[in-house]
Amino acid sequence: MQDYAKAIKELREKMMMSQMEFAKIIDVAYESINRWENGKFIPTFRYRRKFVELFKEYDIKLEEKE
């Protein structure tokens, strides 16, 4: 299990994309991906819902930090 920062980075790497490419696919600014991967922020509920299916598809387990 892992937190959003690690899970998002793992997802992006499994999809073989740069942060910039991944940001375009997810429809956010590059800075958002960078901040999420560095653990400075977590995605809003809107984006977490997008990640749920992608995490399942790429077999990534997620455990939210309290």
Query: What pLDDT does 62 receive?
Result: 85
- For the chain, give me the number of helices (H) and strands (E)? 4, 0
Mean pLDDT of 41-64: 92
> How confident is the model over 29-58, as a mean pLDDT?
95
> Domains in the chain, ordered, with CATH?
4-57 (1.10.260.40)
pLDDT (0 to 100) of residue 64: 62
CB 65 within 8 A of CB 1: no
pLDDT tens, position by position, 12-35: 999 999 999 999 999 999 999 999
pTM value > 0.85: yes
Confidence band of 1 (pLDDT split at 50, 70, 90): very low
